[in-house]
């Protein structure tokens, strides 16, 4: 049962170890001794205009929300404020102006991280995302980033490939998970033992079948040594608007988890409803069974875009589903699965071997 702090003060006088009591009641995170409830496996430090609150604000939000660690990444795209628009749009879909690839997002993130004390920086796990996934030069950007910031980077992504309306607005070719450009990225990931967070919609707005799942499967099969985190399990808010609940999602994800040991599933917000929770916010039994069957293969994330005041709200929304899992599985999905995917050291240029810039 929950206890007020006044009651705790009285009870503590009756115990030889007040810290032990705080740990038992679950309030010890505020006191600095409890294990955090969550690891955020999907978070962006900027929005589609490359704007975001300082990382100190993120760390404060993490403390307030019982988040111990967080994946952090920029956004690889920039929304154009078109000459003909008198007002800056507030999202990438705010008007018909184009979106273009923006490499500086990684440098922005790296510089922000370097302003933090080491003990704070250790809680944040930076992923590189600032490259065009249709360009076979993409791996050169990744190489340059680890040369400029050796030991800092712990993953690649969120790589945005098929993404319905966002793809339609993006300048250039359509990005897909199984292009030669992306194969070069995966080879780089394999050399440096970096996980890849990949956004690839499972289908289009019009097709009620897993139209694009084969593109993800092609990457999984060709690069079994690379751990892929499939963002949002292939879903998106736009797909929900056009398709509603996709009945083929669960069997497709189940089959792919069985076939590809290097596939991991990000359950961030677009999967929460109508998949993990039903219309009455009750856990969906089939998804509880699936996650329980593959307890190490699922992570959760907030998918915030540079603003952190809703961090606790985003992650606590998973509570009903997490509590339906066996206790050990709940802990894995909520906290440890994402951390287990990270390399033991940050990525370094091959000639340098081990390096530590993120101690």
Predicted pLDDT of residue 200: 98
Mean pLDDT along residues 27-54: 80
Predicted pLDDT of residue 31: 32
Is pLDDT at 285 greater than 80 in this prediction? yes
Predicted pLDDT of residue 356: 58
pLDDT one-digit tens code per residue, 139-198: 999 999 999 999 999 999 999 999 999 999 999 999 999 999 999 999 999 999 999 999
Q: pTM for the full model?
A: 0.89
pLDDT one-digit tens code per residue, 309-339: 999 999 999 999 999 999 999 999 999 999 9
Mean pLDDT along residues 100-115: 97
Question: Which single residue is written with the structure tokens 């430090």?
Answer: 45
Angle between helices 249-259 and 213-222 (to 10 degrees): 10
Class of domain 38-352: alpha beta
Question: Tokens at residue 162, please?
Answer: 């098929």
Query: What burial class does residue 16 get, using C-beta atoms within 10 Å of its C-beta: 0-12 exposed, 13-18 middle, 19+ buried?
Result: exposed
Is pLDDT at 27 greater than 50 in this prediction? no
Contacts of 294 (CB under 8 A, 6+ apart): 257
Beta-strand pair 263-266/196-199: unpaired
Q: Where in the chain is CATH 3.20.20.140? A: 38-352
Question: What is the rounded average pLDDT for all residues in the chain?
Answer: 90
Give φ, ψ of 300 to 5 degrees: -120, 160
Q: How far is CA 164 from the centre of its chain?
A: 19
d(CA 85, CA 90): 12
Mean pLDDT along residues 267-278: 96
Mean pLDDT along residues 281-301: 98
pLDDT one-digit tens code per residue, 202-255: 999 999 999 999 999 999 999 999 999 999 999 999 999 999 999 999 999 999
Mean pLDDT along residues 85-102: 88
d(CA 131, CA 186): 13
Contacts of 63 (CB under 8 A, 6+ apart): none
d(CA 315, CA 347): 29
The model's confidence at residue 350, banded by pLDDT at 50, 70 and 90, is confident
Q: In what order do the strands lie in the sheet with 298-299?
A: 38-40, 67-72, 124-128, 155-160, 196-199, 228-230, 263-266, 298-299
Q: Under a CB-based contact definition with an 8 Å cutoff, are residues 101 and 172 in contact?
A: yes
Q: Which is more confidently placed, 131 or 23?
A: 131
- Lowest average pLDDT, out of 12-21, 108-117, 344-353, goes to 12-21
Cis peptide before 216 (omega within 30 of 0): no
Is pLDDT at 110 greater than 90 in this prediction? yes
The model's confidence at residue 4, banded by pLDDT at 50, 70 and 90, is very low
CA distances from 355 to 151, 337, 358 (A): 5, 24, 9
DSSP characters over 298-358: EE-----BS--TTHHHHHHTTHHHHHTS-HHHHHIIIIIHHHHTS-SS----GGG-S--S-
Is pLDDT at 296 greater than 80 in this prediction? yes
How many C-beta neighbours within 10 Å does residue 259 have? 11
């Amino acid at each position: 049962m929950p206890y007020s702090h006044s009651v705790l003060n009285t009870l503590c006088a009756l115990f030889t170890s007040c810290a032990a009591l705080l740990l038992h009641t679950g309030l010890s995170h505020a006191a600095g001794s409890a294990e955090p409830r969550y690891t955020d496996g999907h978070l962006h430090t900027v929005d589609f205009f490359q704007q975001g609150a300082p990382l100190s604000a993120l760390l404060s939000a993490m403390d307030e929300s019982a988040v111990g660690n967080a994946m952090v990444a920029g956004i690889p795209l920039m929304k154009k404020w078109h000459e003909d628009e008198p007002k800056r749009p507030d999202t990438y879909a705010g008007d018909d102006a184009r979106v273009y690839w923006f490499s500086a997002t990684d440098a922005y993130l790296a510089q922000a991280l370097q302003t933090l004390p080491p003990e704070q920086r250790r809680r944040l796990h930076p992923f590189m995302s600032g490259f065009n996934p249709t360009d076979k030069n993409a791996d050169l950007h990744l190489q340059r980033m680890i040369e400029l910031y050796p030991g800092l980077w712990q993953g690649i992504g969120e790589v945005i490939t098929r993404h319905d309306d966002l793809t339609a607005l993006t300048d250039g070719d359509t990005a897909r998970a199984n292009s030669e450009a992306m194969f070069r990225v995966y080879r780089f990931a394999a050399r440096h033992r970096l996980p890849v967070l990949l956004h690839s919609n499972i289908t289009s707005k019009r097709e009620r079948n897993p139209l694009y799942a084969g593109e993800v499967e092609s990457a999984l099969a060709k690069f079994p040594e690379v751990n892929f985190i499939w963002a949002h399990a292939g879903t998106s808010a736009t797909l929900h608007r056009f398709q509603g609940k996709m009945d083929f999602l669960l069997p497709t994800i189940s089959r792919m988890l069985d076939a590809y040991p290097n596939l991991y599933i990000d359950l961030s917000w677009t999967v929460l409803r109508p998949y993990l929770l039903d219309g009455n916010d009750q856990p969906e039994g089939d998804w509880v069974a699936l996650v329980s069957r593959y307890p190490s293969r699922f992570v959760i994330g907030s998918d915030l875009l540079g603003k952190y005041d809703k961090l606790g709200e985003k992650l606590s929304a998973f509570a009903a589903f997490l509590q339906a899992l066996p206790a050990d599985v709940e802990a894995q999905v909520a906290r440890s699965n994402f951390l287990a995917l990270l390399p033991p050291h940050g990525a370094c240029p091959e000639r340098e071997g081990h390096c530590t810039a993120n101690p």
